[in-house]
Amino acid sequence: MEGAPTRRILEVVNKCPTQALIWKYNKDLTSEEQKAQRHGTREEENPKTLSGTPQRSKIKIMKDGPIVVEGLYTVIGTDDQELKPTTMTSFCRCGSSHSLPYCDGTHRKIGFTD
């Protein structure tokens, strides 16, 4: 979308039902800013800080370790509530983490292998 005002671009991207379209600031956001961004409630947007390029999330399966998700995404728990807002998460793949669904490094202690 070229030539459209920042506000209009954000409206269109925020309404994308598949979340295939995303936007981000070219700076690290606080968790509150990330939450406001996802819910389209941010009051001020500075066009000079927008990347203009949609970022794709990346999911990497680590050998003998967790699944690392990086990018803009929302994690919904079994109670349909949003878990911690972040741009990178390691999900346990060994099943032995003490903070499921997140990896806490226990896979190394138990010798988890693929």
For ligand FES, the binding residues (CB under 6 A) are 65-66, 92-94, 96-97, 103-107
Nearer to ligand FES, 29 or 94 (CB): 94
Least Å distance, CB 97 to ligand FES, is 4
Integer angstrom CA distances of residue 58 from 4, 5, 9, 55, 91: 28, 28, 23, 9, 13
Least Å distance, CB 65 to ligand FES, is 5
Q: Helices marked H in the chain — which ranges?
A: 6-14, 31-38, 106-110
Least Å distance, CB 89 to ligand FES, is 12
Nearer to ligand FES, 34 or 97 (CB): 97
